[in-house]
Amino acid sequence: MTVEELAPPVSAPDRAAPGALAHRAALSQLRDATGILGLDEGMYRLLATPRRSLTVSVPLRRENGRVEVYSGYRVQHNLTRGPGKGGVRFHPDSDIDEVTALAMWMTWKCALLGLPYGGAKGGIAIDPRGLTLSEKERLTRRYTQEILPFIGPDKDIPAPDVNTDESTMAWMMDTYSVNAGYSVHGATTGKPLTVGGSNGRAGATSRGVVLAALDAMRHSHLDPTGRTIAVQGFGKVGAGAARFFADEGCRVVAVSDISGGCYRAAGLDIPELEAWVAGGESLASYPNADAITNRELLGLDVDVLVPAAMDGVLTADNAGDVRARMIVEGANGPTSPEADAILQSNGVTVVPDILANAGGVVVSYLEWVQNLQAFSWTSAEVDRKLCVFMQNASRSVWALAGEKSLTLRRAAHVIGVGQVAEAHEARGLFP
């Protein structure tokens, strides 16, 4: 059975929908990994099929009294290695296909990092920029109520993602706790420190991106000092990554977001740029750099390109324009399989998403462990543990890639998929 046959059918006008493309990419990567591992068709189908997919109606009463209804999703792709783990995003393009792909990638990511989790993901198809704070809270609480029977510290633990943050997780944790009758801090991760959050969680994904990039530079015999960096996506992950790169002595020459970007060959002042954006200004209007488009940023002649926004930004249409020596995927699924093939043929090293952006789920795991033990670690202790997880996973991926002459993406998926398949074999099939 082909990837196309297993993937859910879509009508012709929807065939290019981002979610469908992401799902097909995830299935293609899984098919490739199971082929290398020599797994049979039954195991492929078991790993390709989500354990549970939930679509819910999320009604919201707006401030003017009007009721609007949105679609919400939660997919638990695999629970064989532990409870589900994955973010919740609020984005107008979210659909069941996208959430399924993201949940699948989370499964391999957790297995690759050695975390005792399966993969899950959630989302609401909405643009939250038009919501007031109280509307966003009501939306979050209603969504949580709808998926409540399927989540919890031993079942499925949500975390922040695109357009959600620590406040979102606090609301979800509180909604769960109200229904339980007592505080359950481990019901979510990525929370504020005052309600069970972890030191070091806010910048963990960004920190992991930079750790993965630095390790890739070492393997490529590149001194990080002065290396040029371009970051596509200047949100939570991208802005933090730019700051950490600058701290490591790299030269961040370009950043962009949905409105456009800016470029300065001598390097950007990242704290100044963050303050500029926080004041409501656009990156393109930043006075101390030249305005560029997102497409121009992807084609810059830099040492490292970091796609840190949404999935599907590097495609067959623009992969040939990439002149970076290395791509470090801060976003989930930013590179299509067709783009991957082009980048490989052009000699571009790609550090895959399930390794590069795993810092967030690592520190989410550390937060969950602290919640279960009613204990806390300092920021320095959390960072040390994060470094160990990232270094061990990176070492394994680079070693397998060298041993089997695989790309880093194929090596990472072989390790992650292999771990999950081994767990299935060990547990057996009930009944």
Structure tokens at 110: 């957790």
- How many C-alpha atoms does 424 have within 13 Å on its Cβ side? 21
Core vs surface per residue 65-92: b (16+ CB within 10 A) or e: eeeeebebbbbbbbbbbbbbbbbbbbbe
Q: From residue 40, how far is each of 51, 234, 409 by CA, in Å?
A: 19, 42, 21
242 residue type, one letter: A
Q: Which residue has the tokens 């998403």?
A: 353
Q: How far apart are CA 212 and CA 285, in angstroms?
A: 31
Helices (H), 61-155: 96-113, 133-147
User: Do residues 204 and 362 touch, judged by C-beta distance below 8 A?
Assistant: yes
C-alpha 218: how far from chain center: 24
Could you give the residue numbers annotated as active site? 121
DSSP assignments along 139-196, one per residue: HHHHHHHHHGGG-BTTTEEEEE-TT--HHHHHHHHHHHHHHHTS--GGG-SS--GGGT
Element (H, E) at 88: strand 84-90
Dihedral sign (CA 273, 276, 278, 280): negative
Question: Strand, coil or helix: what is 92?
Answer: coil
C-alpha 309: how far from chain center: 9
Q: From residue 363, how far is each of 235, 323, 380 by CA, in Å?
A: 19, 33, 12
Listed in sequence order, the residues at least 6 apart from 368 whose beta carbon sits closer than 8 Å to its beta carbon are: 153, 157, 186, 189
Q: Using CA atoms of 164, 371, 102, 417 in order, give the dihedral in degrees to the nearest 10.
A: 160
User: Do residues 145 and 175 touch, judged by C-beta distance below 8 A?
Assistant: yes
Question: Strand, coil or helix: what is 297?
Answer: helix
User: Do residues 191 and 197 touch, judged by C-beta distance below 8 A?
Assistant: yes
